[in-house]
A and B are shown apart, each in its own frame.
Chain A
Amino acid sequence: MAEAGEHKVLFEAEKISKAFPGVRALKNASFTLNSGEIHALVGENGAGKSTLIKVLAGVHTPDSGQVRLEGKPVHFGHPVEALAAGISVIYQEPNLFPDLTVAENVFAGHYPRRKLGLALDWPEMTRVTQRLLDGLAADIGPLTPVNRLSAANRQIVAIARALNMKARVLIMDEPTASLSDREIERLFGIMRQLRTQGVGIIFISHRMDEIFQVASQVTVMRDGEVVGTFLTQAVDRDQLIALMVGRGVGQLYPKTPGVTGDLLLEVENLRLKGHFGPVSLTVHRGEIVGLFGLVGAGRSEVAQTLFGITPAEDGEVRMEGKPLAIHSPTQAIGAGLAYLPEDRQMQGLVLPMTVMENISLAVLRAVTRGRWVDRAGEESLAERYISLMGIKTPGPRQAVAALSGGNQQKVVLGKWLASRPKVLILDEPTRGVDVGAKAEIHRHIDRLAHEGLGVILISSDLPEVLGMSDRVVVMREGRITGELSREAATQESVLRLAFSDTVPAA
C-alpha cells in the first residue's frame, strides 16, 4: 500500500463489512483518503464500490468496522449527519430539485432566513451562490431553475452545494458519465482546484484514461474486497484491469466445443439515435456470441431494441433469412427471440407472484383453454422448468420474492425457455448470483447452445465472456469496435477494444 507522505489522513474506513440478506456486500474493506488528494475507486460492476460509498456517506451502517474522520471515530445514523460532518456525495445523476432555482438547490435543507420574519434571505442566498459559482468559473445564474440546466451544469450545482456544506470530503460517483470531453476537462479543473484547497476527493469512474489523468492514488475493489491501493504513477492500465478482473480464465467455465450451424439472426446497421448505432452482428445456430462493453457502451440498449422495447429508427433484422419488423416484445417473441433483462427484479420478474405464474407469463397462450388459464397445464409447465433449471423452491406456488438471487434468475431463464426461442439474448445473466448458481447458469447456457439455440451473451464480467463465447463482439460508446474469434479473444485484446482511448473509425 502506498502512502502519500506530505498529506495528512482525512477520512478512513477500516475493515468495513456489510451484509444484506443473503449477500455479503463488503468484506473487511479498508480505505484511506488524505486531504488534498484525488483518490480513484475502481472495480467492475458489483465489486462493492457503491456499498462502500453508502457506508461512508451514512446511508448504510456497517455491520462491523470503523469509519474515522481526522482520526476520530464517527457513526452516521442518517445521511444528513455525514453531510453536516463535511462529507458530500455527488451522484451520477445529481439529487437536485428540478423546479427550484440554483440558489435554492445549493441551500436545500438549510435555507437561511432573514433576521426578522419568515422569509428566505434571498440576497444572502444569491450572493453566496454567485460566489460559489464564480469560484467554479461557472456561467450560471443563481436564480435559474435547475430544470433548464445542462447535465454538466447540474453537476456544478451539486458541487456548489457540497462546497456550501463546507465539504471536506467529496465523493463523486461517475460524475463524467453524461458529460462531453470539454465539460469533463472543466470538471477536472475544478477538482484540481478543490484539491489545492485541501478537499479530499473520492472519484469513481469506469474510464481508465480519466483516472490516470486526474487521480494520484487508486484503490481497486473486487467481489466486495479491497484488492489494493496504488499510486497512479506506479501502475499502468493493464495492471489495473488485471486487478479488477481478477481470477484467471478457464477453470470456471464449462464451455464445451460445439458445432456452429446455419445463420440464424442477422442484424444490419441497427440504429437508435442518442443511444447506439449503426450496429451489425450475426448469430448462428448453436453459437454463443459474447457482447462485451463497459457500462454505457450501449449493449443493453441494442438488446432492448432487438426485442422491440425501444423500436429501432433504422436498420434491418433477419431471422433465418426472413426480414423481421419488430415494434413490440410480443412481435419479438413471435419471431423466436427471447430477452433475459439486465435488471432481474424490475424488468424480469413479478416479485410478489408465484414461480408458476412467472414461468408461464410469456407463454400464457400455451397454457390456456379458451379464455381460462389451464391450471394443471400451467403447473406441469412450471414443474418441468423447475426441474430442468434446478430451481430450488418449495413448490411452484412459492412467491418469487422469497427465492435467492440465483434461483430468481433461473426462473427468468425458465420463463424464456418455455417460449421456445431460436435466439436467446442474455443480459448480465449471472450478475448478483452466488458462485454455485453462476456455474449452474453457465452449464445451462452451454447445454442450450448444444441444443441449437443461438445465444447473445451480454456481460461486463470479462472472464465469463471469454470463457463462454464462441465469438466476442466488443462495444464502446454505442458502436461496435471489434469482433474477435474465441481464439483471438484474450483479456488484453478485448479490453483494448473496450477501453480504447482513440475513437475508432466506425
Chain B
Amino acid sequence: MGESGEEGLKMVEKDVLTQAVEKPGDGPPGLALPVRRVLSREMILLGFLLVELIVLSILSPHFLTLYNLLNTTKYFVEIGLLALGLTMVIITAGIDLSVGSNVGMAGIIVGYLWLAGLPLPLAILGGIMVSVLGGFFNGWVITRLGIPPLIVTLGTWTAYRGVAMVISQARPVSGFPEWFYYLGQGTILNIPVQFLIFVAMAVVVHLILSRSTFGRLVYVVGNNPVAARFSGVNVRKVLLEIYTFTGFLAGLSALVLISRTATARADAGVGYEMDAITAVVLGGASIAGGQGSVTGTGLGVVVLSLLRNGMDLAGMSQASGAVLTGIVLVLAVLSGEWMRRRPLRG
C-alpha cells in the first residue's frame, strides 16, 4: 500500500515525466513484462524484414539470390560486432559513442605496429589490447568519477580518433601479408569468414546475456541499480566489465575491417557508432535501460543492412537507405511506445 500513493502521483505525472529520458526503475507499471515486450518488438522487426524481402525482391531480381544474401553479410559484420557490445551498454542505460573511433584507433595501432617491424600476430594483439584499454578507460571514468556515459564517450570519441590521426598522420597502411585477408575476404563453404566470426560472437554474447551470472547482473543493474546495490551486486564492476568488453569488440571489428578493405586507415569506422546504436534500438533495447537482447539486435542489424543493400541493387542510392533507416527507427520506437501504453489505457 505504501507505494501506491506514490505510484498514484506518478501515474498522474507520468505523462509529462516519461517524456524525459527515463531513469531506470521509475517506469510505469506497463514495463512489468519485458519479455513479452521484446518479443513483440522482434515480431515487428520480422514483419519489417518480410516486407523488406518481398519489396526488394520485386524491385531487383538479383536480390533474393543466395549469393547476394551471403555477400551482404560481409558488410554488416563490423557494425554488428559493435552493436553486440552496445546492446549490453544500452541495457545498463548507458551509451558508448566512442566505438567507431576505437575501431579507427585499434586499426591504426595494428597497422603501425606491423609497419614498425612487429610480426603481424603481435601487432594484432597490440591493437586488441589498445581497444580493450580504450573501453576500460571509458568504464573507469564513468564508474569512478561519476560522469554520465554520454559525455565521457563524447570525449573519447574525439580523443581516440585523434590518437589514430596523430599516429598515422592520416597515412593509411596497406600491403599486409596475404593470410590476413582471409579474415575479411575469405569464405568457408561460400560463407564469408567474418560472418562466421559475427555469428560466433553473437552466440557468445547471447549466452552471456541469457545464461550467465554476469548477464543476469547486466539486466539487474539496468532495471534497478539501487536494488542491485542493496542486494550486494558490485554495480561499478559490472559496468566496468561491460565497457571493457565493448572495447574488445571494437578491436575485433577493426581487424575485420582492415582485412576486408586491405588497409588500415585513421578514418576507419567513422559514424559506425550511430549505425550500431540504431541497430540496437531498432532491436528493442530501451535507451532507459533494462531491456534488450542479442536476438533483437541481430534482427536490427540484418534489417538495416538489407535495407541498404537492397536499395543499392534496386538502383536507388544509399541515401534512400539512410532516409528509410531513420523512418524505420522512429516507427519501431513509436510502435513500441504505443504497445507499452495500450494496456494502461485499457
Q: List chain A positions with a Cβ less than 8 A from chain B.
A: 18, 20-23, 25, 45-46, 50-51, 54, 59-60, 307, 309, 328-330, 332-333, 339, 341, 343-353, 357, 361-362, 364-365, 368, 371-373, 375, 399, 401-402, 405, 415, 428, 431-434
Contact = CB atoms under 8 A, between A and B. Distances in A.
A20 B7 contact: yes
Interface string B221-250: 001101111111110000000000000000
B179 to A, nearest CB: 33
Nearest to A342: B2
A401 B1 contact: no
A401 B8 CA distance: 15
A396 B223 CA distance: 19
B290 to A, nearest CB: 6
Given A329-B232, A350-B224, 19 more contacts: A21-B7, A22-B1, A22-B4, A23-B4, A60-B12, A330-B234, A343-B3, A347-B226, A347-B227, A349-B227, A353-B223, A364-B217, A365-B213, A372-B212, A401-B31, A431-B2, A432-B1, A432-B3, A432-B4
A contacts with B: majority SS = mixed
A371 B212 contact: yes
A21 B344 CA distance: 12
A364 B216 contact: yes
A362 B3 contact: no
B72 to A, nearest CB: 33
Given A51-B8, A352-B223, A364-B216, A23 B1 contact: yes
B9 A332 contact: no
Given A353-B220, A373-B211, A329 B5 contact: no
A351 B230 CA distance: 14
Given A352-B34, A364-B216, A399-B33, A344 B224 contact: no
B279 to A, nearest CB: 23
A344 B32 contact: no
Given A351-B32, A352-B34, A432 B2 contact: yes
B5 A51 contact: yes
Contact of A20 (B4, B214, B229): B4
Contacts of B1: 20, 22-23, 25, 46, 405, 431-434
B34 A368 contact: no
A362 B290 CA distance: 19
Contacts of A347: 226-227, 230
B95 to A, nearest CB: 21
A94 B216 CA distance: 39
Interface in B1-38: 1-5, 7-9, 12, 25, 27, 29, 31-34
Nearest to B224: A350
B160 interface: no
Contacts of B232: 328-330, 332-333, 362
A352 B214 CA distance: 18
A3 B112 CA distance: 89
Contacts of B157: none
B198 interface: no
8 contacts: A23-B1, A51-B5, A347-B230, A350-B219, A353-B219, A362-B232, A372-B212, A401-B31
B147 to A, nearest CB: 20
Contact of B231 (A20, A361, A372, A373): A361
A298 to B, nearest CB: 18
Interface in B32-61: 32-34
Interface in B193-212: 207, 211-212
Contacts of B214: 371
B234 A328 contact: yes
Contact of A350 (B5, B7, B8, B220): B220
Contacts of A54: 5, 8-9
A344 B8 contact: no
A187 B152 CA distance: 45
Instruction: In the A-B complex, list the 10 residue pairs whose CB atoms are closest, starting with the nearest.
Output: A432-B2, A401-B32, A20-B4, A432-B1, A329-B232, A23-B1, A330-B232, A23-B4, A350-B224, A333-B232
Contacts of A373: 211-213, 216
Contacts of B227: 346-350
B33 A352 contact: yes
B334 to A, nearest CB: 21
Given A328-B234, A361-B231, A346 B5 contact: no
B31 A352 contact: yes
Contacts of B290: 352
Nearest to B214: A371
Nearest to A428: B2
Contacts of A399: 32-34
Contacts of A365: 213
A428 B1 CA distance: 12
A278 to B, nearest CB: 25
A60 B231 contact: no
A368 B213 contact: yes
Q: Which among A307, A364, A365 has the greatest number of chain B C-beta atoms within 10 A?
A: A364
B155 to A, nearest CB: 24
Given A23-B1, A353-B219, A329 B231 contact: yes
A25 B5 contact: yes
B207 to A, nearest CB: 8
B32 A357 contact: no
Given A20-B8, A350-B223, A401-B31, A345 B3 contact: yes
A368 B213 CA distance: 7
A372 B217 CA distance: 12
A375 B210 CA distance: 11
Contacts of B216: 357, 364, 373
A179 B34 CA distance: 43
